[in-house]
Structure 1
Amino acid sequence: MTRFAAIGLDHRHVYDMTAGLLAAGAACAGHDPETTDPRVLVGFRKRFPDVPAIERERLLDDPSIDFVVLAAVPRDRAALAIEAMRRGKDVMVDKPGVTTADQLAAVEAAVRETGRIWSICLGRLTSPAVQAALAVVRSGEIGRLVSLTSLAPHRLNRALRPAWFFERAAYGGIINDIGTHSIDQFLAFAEAKGAMMDATILSSTIGAFGTEPPGFEDFAAITLRSDTMLGSIRLDWFTPDGMPDWGDGRLFLVGTDGTLELRKNLDIEGRAGGEHMFVANRQRTRYQDCSGVPVTYYRDFLDDVRDRAGRVSEDGRAFSVCRLALRCQQEATRFAPVRRP
């Protein structure tokens, strides 16, 4: 059985990553109890009471452990991943995988040097609705894609956030952090219709609308162009507390023969749950509950660990996504609106 260790329990995404791998048939050999947020550690132990606490060095030195899962403070993820790869471990990392261009270059060099797997657990890979939408696009049902609009609001949940969450150097900026998902999603849909795995940045804007502490990046807007389609992305930390989920993630696709909308988290006044898809084509409109659509990322990752077939590598997609996110973050126009009385 493939065995892994959970290292860097600083973000709650480690729960979903661990649960997904266990459900796919892996065994968790241990977790490193070192954390910047004791609440994450408590939550991990509550969810996985049979996973022992083992000091990090012992986990990295254990030859029976095939890979590590990393959800450390974002600025620390690259160094931890490189250390793990050089000690013979593959790596699954929470987004963002890196926070600087130098870190990205170092990770790429380590992958070439060691031959290990470095995979970012991105939202597209674990979303049934996005997988269903990609299948619709590949089928030709809505024709040639013209544009993609992605809305990715998030709830701040200030009381649950550790201090590093508000330090730009620690999380890498709003686009590099939560925008990574949306940029990867754009590239996936562009590539689904034969585009190159890259994009031109037409505009990038970051806003600080007054969320404390001063200067915290709470809004961003990006416009991208591939060689086949346009993309608009909005990110923010303004999901209202009255919303029954952490956000109302939405995706709109316009094709030459139809349109498609995803409501990933909720149908605000209708059907229960998430993973909703609405399609309009030349013949009809239709609704699909995508919650039962299988996602294979965790199983594919485990298969790659065993046979090195490259299912999750996608010809360097993770590196392309990181590179584009870092450029959008670096080149963005900063916008700090003046408050009117």
Structure 2
Amino acid sequence: MLRFAVVGIDHGHTFDHVKGLLAAGGEFVGYCPKTSVPALLDNFKKTYPDTPQIDREALFADPSINVICIAAIPRDRAGLAIRAMKAGKDVMTDKPGVTTFAQLEEVKKTVAETGRIFSICFSERHCVRSAVKAGKLVKEGAVGRVIQTIGMGPHKLQLPTRPDWFFDPEAFGGIIVDIASHQVDQFLFYTGSTTGEVVASSIGNFGMPEKPKFEDFGEVLLRSDRGSGYVRVDWFTPEGLGTWGDGRLTILGTEGYIELRKYIDISGRPGKDHLFLVNGTENRHIDCSDEKLDYFDAFTADVRDRSETAMTQAHVYEVCRLSLEAQTKAVRLGGR
């Protein structure tokens, strides 16, 4: 049985990691209570009241623990992952797994030296049932060869809940690294690309002059030998929307297209995970709410078998590289 622990409770995606690994048959051994978001820790305690709080050094030192899950402040994730891998653990981290090129190189070096798994749980694909279904439809050839993805990652600011580091690009890596890594992952995955290039990228601060370093808008144009991708991420989701963001993905193929409304259908259908498929024979809406999330089962098997079925290590590295490059090259818009 996979035994796992949590080190770094600074983002709500930690709940996805725990829930997913428990559903895959894992045992939740304990967690380090250190956090920059006390309300998140309170919720964690209420959700898992029987799971002990344990000092992180003790968790790293426990030889019976196979996996360390990390959702710390983004700039700290790579360091914690390296510490865990050197202690003989595999790692599942929230995105972004790294915030600098130096961190990426150190992670690569550590993986090579230790043979451990460094996996980033890209929740907008791995934890979204409509995204899982889309992957199956693409594999079945429902839209022909995929030639473009358009990924939108809008978010609500929800200012009262945000810690100080949320507004510091050095802490969160910049909006492209922090959020658009999801869409970079999806571009590579759905187009079947093993590598890509950044054609153009932009960032901006249009709505928060009082936080001059903050970035509330980002966009990226990607290209590979198999297709192209456009990404837009932002913090401008209006409060009137009934969820935290209207995440969307359009997958264009040579014989049709798929559109995902991941978290809400603004036309009125209840719930989330709405998939629209249009091709030469049909035009239909698919409710994906019962689709199984297979990343966590695959990750558990990879830990056991030392395989790469959930996601290749090369894919993880390439998402990180492209995200960092797009952030670094980005033209700043908005005059702030």
Mapping 1:75-94, distance limit 5 Å: 75-94=75-94
Task: Give the drift of 1:62.
Answer: 0.8
Instruction: Say if 2:167 and 2:213, in contact at 8 Å, map to a contact too.
Output: no
Partner of 1:217: 215
| Corresponding position: 1:96 with 2:96 | yes
Q: For residues 233 and 71 of structure 1, what CA distance do their matches in structure 2 show?
A: 24
Mapping 1:50-69, distance limit 5 Å: 50-69=50-69
Q: Which amino acid in 2 is paired with 1:268?
A: I
Q: Which amino acid in 2 is paired with 1:132?
A: K
| Corresponding position: 1:30 with 2:30 | yes
Q: For residues 156 and 250 of structure 2, what CA distance do their matches in structure 1 show?
A: 21
Partner of 2:238: 240
Partner of 2:300: 302
Q: Which amino acid in 1 is paired with 2:95?
A: K
Q: Deviations over 1:239-264 (max 9, x none)?
A: 11111111001111222221221100
Give the TM-score of the pair, scaled to structure 2: 0.96
Partner of 2:151: 150
Partner of 1:329: 327
Q: Which amino acid in 1 is paired with 2:257?
A: T
Q: Deviations over 1:175-213 (max 9, x none)?
A: 00011000000000111xxxx411121110101103241
After TM superposition, the runs of 4+ consecutive aligned structure 1 residues lying more than 4 A away are: none
Partner of 1:174: 175
% identity of equivalent residues: 47
Mapping 1:100-119, distance limit 5 Å: 100-119=100-119
Q: Deviations over 1:131-166 (max 9, x none)?
A: 211222222222222322111101111100111111
Q: For residues 288 and 151 of structure 1, what CA distance do their matches in structure 2 show?
A: 20
Instruction: Say if 1:117 and 1:313, in contact at 8 Å, map to a contact too.
Output: no
| Corresponding position: 1:259 with 2:260 | no
Instruction: Say if 2:93 and 2:120, in contact at 8 Å, map to a contact too.
Output: yes
Q: For residues 154 and 90 of structure 1, what CA distance do their matches in structure 2 show?
A: 30
Q: For residues 287 and 249 of structure 1, what CA distance do their matches in structure 2 show?
A: 17
Partner of 2:195: 198
Task: Give the drift of 1:104.
Answer: 0.4
SS of aligned partner of 2:92 = strand
Partner of 2:48: 48
Task: Give the drift of 1:129.
Answer: 0.9
Q: For residues 335 and 172 of structure 2, what CA distance do their matches in structure 1 show?
A: 23
Q: For residues 331 and 174 of structure 1, what CA distance do their matches in structure 2 show?
A: 13
Task: Give the drift of 1:22.
Answer: 1.2
Instruction: Say if 2:275 and 2:285, in contact at 8 Å, map to a contact too.
Output: yes
SS of aligned partner of 1:189 = helix
Q: For residues 134 and 190 of structure 1, what CA distance do their matches in structure 2 show?
A: 10
Task: Let me know the Cα RMSD of the aligned residues.
Answer: 1.3
Q: After superposing the two structures, state which structure 1 stretch, 310-319 or 282-291, moved more.
A: 310-319
| Corresponding position: 1:227 with 2:228 | no
Q: Which amino acid in 2 is paired with 1:177?
A: D
Partner of 1:11: 11
Q: Deviations over 1:24-68 (max 9, x none)?
A: 111111110111221111111011111101111111111111111
SS of aligned partner of 1:165 = helix
Partner of 1:128: 129
Structure 1 residues 36 and 219: alpha-carbon distance in aligned structure 2, compared to 1, 3 A threshold: same
Aligned length: 334
Partner of 1:162: 163
Task: Give the drift of 1:315.
Answer: 4.5
Q: For residues 308 and 4 of structure 1, what CA distance do their matches in structure 2 show?
A: 16
SS of aligned partner of 1:57 = helix
Q: For residues 293 and 39 of structure 2, what CA distance do their matches in structure 1 show?
A: 29
Q: For residues 94 and 296 of structure 2, what CA distance do their matches in structure 1 show?
A: 13
SS of aligned partner of 1:178 = helix
- Which segments of 5 or more consecutive residues in structure 1 lack a partner in the other structure? none
SS of aligned partner of 1:152 = strand
Task: Give the drift of 1:337.
Answer: 4.1
